[in-house]
Structure formats: structure tokens, C-alpha cells
Copies of this chain bind each other. A is one copy, B any other.
Amino acid sequence: MRVEIVALSTLPEVRPGDDLAALIRQAAATEGQTMDRWVVLAVAQKIASKAEGAVVDLREIHPSALARSWAAEWKKDARLIELILSQSRRIVKMDRGVIIAETRHGLVCANAGVDQSNVEGDFATVLPNDPDASARRLLASLGCGAVIITDTFGRPWREGLVDVAIGVAGLDPLDDHRGRTDRHGRKLASTIIAVADQLAAAAGLLMPKPAGCPVVLIRGFDWQPAEGSARSLLRKPEQDLFR
């Protein structure tokens, strides 16, 4: 078994309104990469957001009292804090300058997905409105096998960030091994692998932030085609021990 991960290196800077599928198709063609149904395409959230215009001008934001007091306490930009709060439907943790929030998509992450890296001056990106739909549009336009939209998340207990799938089309993000048996005939009790997150992390090996290779092709991974949705990756509140 062999999986190959290739980053597209000729993608131009993506701007609001750009046809992202066309830019990816062009870069792939330039680099001799064919899109076919054996390719899982991983696209960094940042460029999906930019292409979709999910970019906010901080000069148009009027910070609330909470945003102003938090920003003053932790030496942050109050407009950015207000944007983070506006992108949240629930604050999971707000402590020591860190805001962990649940976005309206149900994603739990730092700063509700608001990010200033690789964006100009007074601007920040927010998450795509519907990352599954972003993935579906690219899938339909590019003719690859599956698309995941990835973002870089922190984790409790562990240092460092890893990439996860926030949008999915063309594959089931969970590979359910329950009911199958191991080498010794024992039923595998609770082995559901988050393959979309493993794919995102694999792609993340070639998406280091400063270099900025936000589109990665994965070939040789074997999956059952399915419509798929990143919502499957969200733990239901009633099953969440860390809510």
C-alpha cells in the first residue's frame, strides 16, 4: 500500500471573487497533475474563505463591551475579539487570553476560526459559510474523487496544531471498523477512524503556513465513495464528556 501526497506550488494568491476551482485546475495542469476519481483534494480553509469573500474589514466592526474589556486585559485588537464573538454560538473556554468557541457550524476551535495570517492589513478571514458546500462545489467542478477543506486546530492536553477536516465531499469522514474482527477473532469494540482528519493531517505536512501551499493532492488512499459531510465529525452534545 502506497499513498502519495503532492502540493501544488504554482497556485496564485487567491482573492475574493476568484474562481478557486479554475485556479486549482490551472495549477494542476501546469504541474502535470491529473485530477481523477482516485484523488482526494485537500484545500486549506484560508483560500476557500478568501475565494468566497469570507473576509472581514476590521474597520467596520464596533466592539462590544466584552470585546473591549477582554482586548484591554490581554492586549488584543478589540475589533478582532468582537469578530470572534460574532462567529461563535457558544464560548467553551475564555481564559488566559485564549478563546475556545463553538462556531455556528458546531466546530470547537480557537478564535472561532477567525484568522489574520496571510491576510492583508486590517482584514481577517472567517470560516466559509458552509464548508461542506465549498467542498462539494470543488468536487463537482474538478472531477476528483473527494475534497476536504482543512483548518489548523489546537487540541486539549497536547501542544502544537494539527490539520482537521472542516468540510467534506465525496467520502465518509468516519471509517467504522466496529463489528469487524481483529486477527484473533475479537470484535473491534470502538474503532471508528476519523479518516478525513487523518487525510487533513497528511495534507498538512505539505501546508506549512509561511510557505503557503494551500492545495494538496492525495493519491492511493482507498475509500468507499459517499456523499459525506464534516458534520459527522462533530460529537453530539449528549455524548460529549468535555462540553
Contacts and interface: CB of A to CB of B under 8 A. Distances in A.
Interface string A13-28: 1000000000000000
A7 interface: yes
A203 to B, nearest CB: 9
Contacts of A242: 93, 156-157, 242
Interface string A149-165: 00010011111111110
A13 B182 CA distance: 12
Given A6-B1, A156-B241, A232-B159, A205 B195 contact: yes
A175 interface: yes
A204 B202 CA distance: 9
How many chain A residues sit at the interface, stated as a range, is 35 or more
A192 interface: yes
Name, among A157, A164, A183, A240, the residue most crowded by chain B CB atoms within 10 Å (CB to CB): A157
B96 A241 contact: yes
Binding site secondary structure of chain A = loop
A209 B184 CA distance: 12
B232 A5 contact: no
- With most chain B CB atoms within 10 A of its CB, the pick from A2, A9, A152, A160 is A160
A43 to B, nearest CB: 16
